[in-house]
Amino acid sequence: MPKRAAAGLPTRQQILDFIETSDQPAGKREIARAFALSAQEKIALKALLKDMADEGLIDSAPGRAFHKMGGLPKVTVLRVADVDDGGNVWAVPERWEADGPPPRLRVRERKRGQLGIGERVLARTEEAGSGWIAHPMKTLARASEQVLGVLRAEGDRLWLTGVEKKERREYAVSDAGDAQAGDLVLAEKAGRPPRVTVRVVERLGDPFAPRSFSLIAIHKHGIPDQFTPDTLDEAERVARQPLGEDREDLRHLAIVAIDPADARDHDDAVWAEPDDDPANPEGWRALVAIADVSFYVRPGSAIDRDARKRGNSVYFPDRVVPMLPEILSAHVCSLVEGEDRAALVCHLQVTKDGQLKSWRFTRAVLRIAANIAYEDAQAAIDGTLDHPLTETALRPLWGCWRALLAAREKREPLDLDLPERRVVLDEKGRIMSVAPRERLDAHRLIEDYMIAANVAAAKALEAKKAPVMYRDHEPPSREKLTALKDYLETFGVPFALGQVIRPATFNRILDKVGDADFRPQVMEQVLRTQTQAYYGPGNTGHFGLALGSYAHFTSPIRRYADLLVHRSLVRAYKLGEGGLTDGEAEGMERIGESISGFERRAMEAERETIDRYVAAFLAERVGEIVRARITGVANFGFFATVDDVGGDGLVSVRDLGGEYYRFDEAARTLTGEHSGEQYALGQRLELRLVEANPVSGALRFELPEGKGAGTSAEPERRDRRTPRVLKRRGRPGNIRHQGGRR
């Protein structure tokens, strides 16, 4: 048993240690007994446990055993989520209110084959290496595993096709309820392999209707899209609170917010002017003003608990799933023209060569002079648009930015200009266009101001020895660098592994490639070589930006990491209420892991939704010849991306002709054994689009007739695989969907 605190009550860490090591459920009674607390101490324990729950250290379920947030109780109820082909049983906690996705546990059955999908067990859990093991103690009443998919009719039977691109299995439907073929549904799995069936529990409607594509991602990834009533009530209440009198008044400055034309929130604004300080000749003064979210969202509040479970806002073409309630994210905290707003402001002194000479942080009240779209700001600077703030606000911003840009170029961060796809919808949610998003100097300007403020925030907290939620990006691993070297050799581009690897190293590679046709795929391969950035209290630097200290400060409306940085600044610089708590400071590593996971979830959901919109956009072109570029090669075929639009699709090796194709892993090529026909990364070619499935976002291509080796076998092969049309009820079907069981 953990040693008892000398002062009577156990410490937070002692309580956590006891909960984690207890071989039975640990409630308030068990904790009090373990530490031999008096009646008076038990009252204090109750308050302490509530504080720990508010700080996110323990699960706050009333009347039940506590467990560490982000961890598992020693004894808990699990639900069987999967039985793999090898007969291994995998389960997840039935109840999971901690930050981050629930863990998957390998269940050690007493007798193989006893447990099926959806069954529930009371189990003892233990951590084993990098995973978890569950030892069943008792089988409980049965539950179910849910799957999202579309119903398909085959004769008089219904089958459920999952929305996953990689899903190869369809499920027989035992009970469809009021759902019909073509409906998007949520269903429960039942049974044991190979006889797993599904029962529809919720009809979600037409999968091709506007807003359905993002709805699929929300359901699939379990993204919380509804706030609790307590959170909404609290948001209404805090939105009415006065801004306070102890704020620096910046309402006289022409501060502007430059954002996308369709921005749903505005959490940053900027201002600059030449510096009159003799100690900074030809330098600049600049402000980066950020919505003061920490003033409204206090640690442990209902809004804070909901925000931490989300981790970030998720942006789809048709909607945003916000981290904060709309009254805060889109109104009170949003920096909009002509309205007094609370802000946390980074005051910067920038030298003529773009170095940060000094910085300070204040809480302020400001009134945005204008919300300007990127395109309009750029047009005003280029002289093609007459804007009233061009001379007073925009030109000074551009002047200071040129200094920041010079420092950036000297630093030589990783420079990958990969296009971002933009889906444009009409007012009814229908797709108007899909095209690469234009990148202007105005975009780069705001990016560099934000980077400067992020660096200043990290360094300011370091100077105070205060907790920092860093944005860490580590250098690439040796294994990835070796793979890149092998890849570049296929293009005759040398790459030495013995050198010190810096971001500029990769820029030099792209300089050698120049404007070659394979430049885009080299950029993509360089991107794949990089590690994934994450949040944490340990500083490993930001490799991609070539920065030693970096934190996220500029988007607290949509990122929880930024809110924590704001709270730490408020506490360190004594800026008033809403500062970082001791519990948050102690839990930075756990919180960082959690919000990093939520970020990956959001990125995957956003990417998949764009893929679905692209597939829907291309569905009108099924059967047509499209220009494409090979972006991936494997032993089973190659992947290609449609020019200008995006969207990845597979050309199966079986569709390349009757001969055998050899796969060269190092060169990433497929070569016909007899014809010598070769398909390689970066190769541009024409393909026939034969399937565009908006529900999964999957595309499928074939070579046009007469192309490739073994074309004499093509007609027979094509007849055997004629895609079936997935019809939308009441109107002709024009979206192809692969028929038959997968």
Each residue of 83-124: pLDDT tens digit? Answer: 765 678 888 887 765 555 678 889 988 777 677 766 788 888
pLDDT of the residue at 566: 98
Q: What percent of the chain has pLDDT over 90?
A: 46
Q: What percent of the chain has pLDDT over 70?
A: 88
CB 49 within 8 A of CB 28: yes
Question: How far is CA 128 from each of CA 66, 95, 708, rounded to the nearest angstrom?
Answer: 22, 21, 51
Question: How large is the C-alpha radius of gyration of the chain?
Answer: 29
CB 380 within 8 A of CB 473: no
Measured in residues, the chain has a length of: 742
Question: Which tops the pLDDT comparison, 666 or 299?
Answer: 299
Each residue of 549-563: pLDDT tens digit? Answer: 999 999 999 999 999
Each residue of 455-492: pLDDT tens digit? Answer: 999 999 999 999 999 999 999 999 899 989 988 887 88
Question: Which tops the pLDDT comparison, 585 or 659?
Answer: 585
Domain borders along the chain are 1-69, 75-140, 145-205, 239-292+333-412+439-457, 478-530, 622-737
Question: Which tops the pLDDT comparison, 431 or 584?
Answer: 584
Label residue 54 by pLDDT band (50, 70, 90). Answer: low
Q: Average pLDDT for residues 564-586, to the nearest whole number?
A: 96
Question: Which tops the pLDDT comparison, 325 or 193?
Answer: 325
Q: Average pLDDT for residues 236-265, to the nearest whole number?
A: 93
User: Is residue 252 pLDDT above 50, yes or no?
Assistant: yes
Is the domain covering 622-737 a CATH 2.40.30.10 domain? no
Label residue 603 by pLDDT band (50, 70, 90). Answer: very high
User: Is residue 413 pLDDT above 90, yes or no?
Assistant: yes
Q: What is the C-alpha separation between 174 and 185, in angstroms, rounded?
A: 14
Q: What is the 3-state secondary structure (H, E, C) of 190-211?
A: ECCCCCCEEEEEEEEECCCCCC
DSSP H or E stretch at residue 93: strand 89-93
User: Is residue 739 pLDDT above 50, yes or no?
Assistant: no
pTM: 0.75
For domain 1-69, which CATH number applies: 3.40.50.2030, 3.40.50.10240, 3.50.50.60, 1.10.10.10?
1.10.10.10
The SS3 call for residue 47 is helix
pLDDT of the residue at 584: 93
Q: What is the C-alpha separation between 742 and 738, in angstroms, rounded?
A: 9
Q: Is 1-69's fold the same as 75-140's? A: no
Label residue 366 by pLDDT band (50, 70, 90). Answer: very high
| Residue in the structure block whose two tokens are 């000094």 | 358
pLDDT of the residue at 564: 98
Q: Can you name the residues that pair with 340 across neighbouring β-strands?
A: 367
pLDDT of the residue at 727: 32
Specify the CATH architecture of the domain 145-205: Beta Barrel (2.40)
Residue type, 114: Q
User: Is residue 548 pLDDT above 50, yes or no?
Assistant: yes
Q: Can you name the residues that pair with 433 across neighbouring β-strands?
A: 424
Q: What is the C-alpha separation between 353 and 409, in angstroms, rounded?
A: 11
Label residue 62 by pLDDT band (50, 70, 90). Answer: very low
User: Is residue 517 pLDDT above 80, yes or no?
Assistant: no
First vs last C-alpha separation in the chain: 54
pLDDT of the residue at 386: 95
Fold of 75-140: OB fold (Dihydrolipoamide Acetyltransferase, E2P) (2.40.50)
Q: How would you classify the pairing of strands 197-205 and 170-175? A: parallel
* DSSP assignment letter at 118: T
CB 656 within 8 A of CB 677: yes
Q: Average pLDDT for residues 344-351, to the nearest whole number?
A: 98
Q: Average pLDDT for residues 495-520, to the nearest whole number?
A: 89
Q: Average pLDDT for residues 220-241, to the nearest whole number?
A: 91
* DSSP assignment letter at 328: I
pLDDT of the residue at 10: 84
User: Is residue 445 pLDDT above 80, yes or no?
Assistant: yes
Q: Average pLDDT for residues 62-72, to the nearest whole number?
A: 60
pLDDT of the residue at 70: 54
Question: Which tops the pLDDT comparison, 144 or 523?
Answer: 523
Closest alpha carbon to 497 in 484, 511, 516, 509: 484
CB 20 within 8 A of CB 68: yes
User: Is residue 728 pLDDT above 50, yes or no?
Assistant: no
Region of residue 126 (phi > 0: left; psi between -120 and 50: alpha; otherwise: beta): beta
Question: How far is CA 525 from each of CA 93, 254, 520, 681, 733, rounded to the nearest angstrom?
Answer: 38, 43, 9, 10, 38
